Chain A
Amino acid sequence: MTFFRLLSVLLTLALLTPVPAVEAQSNQGPLRIRITEGVIEPLPFAIPEFIAESPAAAQLARQVSQVIAADLTGTGLFREIPASAHISEVTNFNAPVQFADWKAINAQALITGSVGVGSGGQMTVKFRLFDVFSEAPLGEGLQFGGTQDTWRRMAHKVADQVYSRITGESGYFDSRVVFVSESGDKANRAKRLAIMDYDGANVQFLTGNNALVLAPRISTAGDRVLYTSYETGRPTVFELNVANVSPRALNLSSDAVTFSPRYAPDGRSLIYSQSQGGNTDLYRFDVNTGQRTRLTSSPAIDTAPSYSPDGRQIVFESDRSGSQQLYIMPATGGEARRISFGQGRYGTPVWSPRGDLIAFTKQNQGRFHIGVIRVDGSGERLLTASFLDEGPTWSPNGRVIMFTRETQGASGAPALFSVDVSGRNLKRVPTPGPASDPAWSPLLQ
């Protein structure tokens, strides 16, 4: 009884005791914020016209500035603030930057530079990149030297540096694209190889229009091009030395049809498809020794092979499962692993230079797509959709995909398009006329 009394007294006291306010733990550390979503928009930058170190350099300075701005804005990741909005004027390459003036127009990056011309057609381009809101340079200033007729390349190199310093990735502006230039009626079209800067400038032709050519593939060093030609009346793989524009037929097979060649990353061998007796398999060809090695031996059609950047694996398309899908196997051959499982038909896989993604063409429900998929088969994303998209090729940094898009109808013609790997910035690449089968070179040295 005494115990219950004592308990009742304690409970009574406890209930009558005022309940203090709920005090949560005080925040003794810094205020912690977690941001899990940003905005996707071009980064505004300013590039005052480069300073001409002499009157003779005035035009070059203007052109170099324009090409740099065009390179950066063409990525879709940057937006140029027009000169009419500039408050500060840069009149001296070494003058202090008035950051407040550039902040006022919301320029996040500022590119200043100068152009000088010397004797013998030489020229120099100097530039600096500033992070305006940090009021600090982004990297050191650089100077490029060369001849005046290489001014576009020097501009591309400056743009590559700017792109690299801001995005953390290497650029892709100082590169070239080999493609098939087409002319004539759709039913009787002439096709010849051409090469141009990545932005469509400086187009030059590598072959004549006396023979149909297809599917050029450029080596990782950028010095040679593989392509399929009907010059001999049947599809034959040729190798063309870019330096002297001298093609030579590769004797891949004397009696079988060979096609779809592509270089190994080391450039010393190539893989291709060989069709014989209604069966198509993959082979490797040693460029130096001429030795051929069979890599697949299935009754299915195995074609469109592409090496991984480290040269250890090959991705290719095959209908061994009944429908056209993507497979990966060791570079020496062996068991293949299927990586595509979606609806439709998958083809022309190309391994990204970064090694993380594989671009492909997909045909589904009457439409063609360019898409990307991870190496393990996950994360498939379709980037485009049209009447006919095919033949993807990666930019040197693995950020942009160029491909062929053909319009519908009798008057339809192929053209080159590019799209960011995120699916944004889909745009047409300027070419002299109808064009197809792009092959993007590595960055020039």
Chain B
Amino acid sequence: MTTGTNISLAAHGALIFFVLFGGIFSSSQAPPVRVADVSVITEAELQALTPPAQAPELATEAPTPTLPEELDAPEVPEADTAPERPEVSVAEAPEPPPLAPNIPETPDALETNVLDSAPVLDLVQDGAELVPVIPDGAPAPAPRVAPEAAPAPPPDVAIGPDALPDISTDAPELAEVEEESEAQAPEEATTDLVTEADEQLELAPERSQRPRSRPAPQTQVTEATEDTPEDPVEPLMSVDPEAARDAAVAAVATGQTSAQPAQRVRGTPMTAAEEDAFRLSVQRCWVVDIGSEAAEVEVVWAFELDPDGKVINGSMRQVRASDGSDAAVRAAYEAARRAILRCGASGFDLPAEKYEQWREVEITFSIEEMGR
């Protein structure tokens, strides 16, 4: 009995000594376990932590560059360098039916001609000096006017001939009043809809609010962001210590040790803060037409970025859209595309060392937080 105990003590002691000083379980290849104190904080607190430089610019004012002395006008082409133009069948525009033939003072009906072949355009074809030359790198010439003529619309309703003559003499006097329309400042950009009725209800608060507690310091948990690729909008995530331990035990059970780290397919992942900054950089350019059917349509764009953060030409692809009329879906896609291209014109500010993480991007545009 004593022998067994001694052997056991000696073996355990040797094992502990070997573990402590033998270095068999230490590995220079394995990264140390990083432990971070993480807590769940609200989005408002996250915003408070976010540096002001990351705040989105809600309103984009057009710069007012000075007019250069020499305008970069399009180059006037030579006749023999004119590009090939499609054959155009010349169709005579239909005569516009008068709105009311018996009422000369009322507007006539309009033709809606979709044509490439109006007589005036013949002059364009004949005039060699008007044919554009496309220099290298210059944008493609604008397309010709549509080649097919639309059918003439039915005659419009006209105001009758018996319009009271004594009243019609008032017209000039009315025109002066018409010019007294009030000039109004354009409404500022916003993310919230405030109607006149809402403004009436804005009253002073009945009591002061208690100051908010200081938000907990934000700690970026790189590993934690990796397991939520489908929901990258969450600003912060918590790491459950027990879950981490379970994962560690599971790794032991599967034989995965520090000598065999998980292979990262695409390098260091984006942090939540980096993804949030990217999201805000697109969001500030997404102009939403609240009230339109297009605003109700959720669309998804996919595209690729070059290492400078610029959208690669030809890479933009419409992934999917929610239900809506064709026109609404098209308008929703276009508005989203404008947001991507406008804010990414000079390249998105993304971490260069994580290029593989953001080389391919898929953005969903939905107004779910704007109130419908």
**Closest Cβ of chain B: how far from A130's Cβ, in Å?**
7
- B368 and A36 contacting across the interface, CB-CB below 8 Å: yes
Tell me, in angstroms, the Cα distance from A384 to B362 when the chains sit together. 40
- Interface residue SS majority, chain B: loop
Q: How large is the interface on B (under 10, 10 to 19, 20 to 34, 35 or more residues)?
A: 35 or more
- B195 and A432 contacting across the interface, CB-CB below 8 Å: no
| Contact A38:B339 (CB < 8 A) given known A96-B142, A106-B63, A143-B114 | yes
| Contact A18:B107 (CB < 8 A) given known A30-B361, A424-B193 | no
- B226 and A24 contacting across the interface, CB-CB below 8 Å: yes
B177 contact set on A, CB distance < 8 A: 430-433
- A445 and B132 contacting across the interface, CB-CB below 8 Å: no
Say if the beta carbon of A56 comes within 8 Å of chain B: no
**Closest Cβ of chain B: how far from A205's Cβ, in Å?**
4
- A146 and B286 contacting across the interface, CB-CB below 8 Å: no
- A428 and B190 contacting across the interface, CB-CB below 8 Å: no
Query: Nearest chain-B residue to A207 (Cβ)?
Result: B164
At the interface with chain B, which of A160-168, A281-289, A306-314, A406-414?
A160-168
**Closest Cβ of chain B: how far from A137's Cβ, in Å?**
6
Within 1-32 of A, Cβ neighbours of B (below 8 Å) are at 14, 16-32
- B197 and A382 contacting across the interface, CB-CB below 8 Å: yes
A36 contact set on B, CB distance < 8 A: 233, 366-370
Q: What 1/0 flags go to A223-255 for Cβ under 8 Å of B? A: 100000000000000000111111000000000
- B337 and A384 contacting across the interface, CB-CB below 8 Å: no
**Closest Cβ of chain A: how far from B303's Cβ, in Å?**
9
Q: What 1/0 flags go to B298-312 for Cβ under 8 Å of A? A: 000010000000000
| Contact A95:B283 (CB < 8 A) given known A149-B108, A246-B160, A430-B177 | no
- A33 and B227 contacting across the interface, CB-CB below 8 Å: no
Say if the beta carbon of B53 comes within 8 Å of chain A: no
| Contact A246:B334 (CB < 8 A) given known A85-B64, A201-B178 | no
**Closest Cβ of chain B: how far from A39's Cβ, in Å?**
5
Say if the beta carbon of A333 comes within 8 Å of chain B: no
Tell me, in angstroms, the Cα distance from A155 to B357 when the chains sit together. 49
Tell me, in angstroms, the Cα distance from A96 to B135 when the chains sit together. 10
| Contact A84:B58 (CB < 8 A) given known A205-B168, A385-B200, A423-B198 | no
Tell me, in angstroms, the Cα distance from A426 to B131 when the chains sit together. 46
Tell me, in angstroms, the Cα distance from A16 to B17 when the chains sit together. 12
- B257 and A39 contacting across the interface, CB-CB below 8 Å: no
Say if the beta carbon of B157 comes within 8 Å of chain A: yes
Say if the beta carbon of A211 comes within 8 Å of chain B: no
Mind listing 27 A-B residue pairs with CB under 8 Å? A20-B251, A24-B269, A26-B226, A29-B229, A30-B360, A33-B275, A34-B231, A36-B370, A84-B67, A88-B71, A95-B74, A95-B132, A96-B139, A103-B345, A104-B63, A140-B146, A141-B145, A149-B107, A166-B331, A168-B327, A169-B293, A205-B164, A206-B159, A208-B166, A382-B197, A386-B196, A432-B178
The chain A residues found within 8 Å of chain B, CB to CB, are 14, 16-44, 53, 76-77, 79, 81, 84-89, 91-99, 101, 103-108, 112, 116, 122, 124, 126, 128, 130-131, 133-135, 137-138, 140-147, 149-150, 152-154, 157, 164, 166-169, 174, 192, 195, 200-208, 221-223, 241-246, 354, 367, 369, 371, 379, 381-386, 399, 419-428, 430-433, 444-445
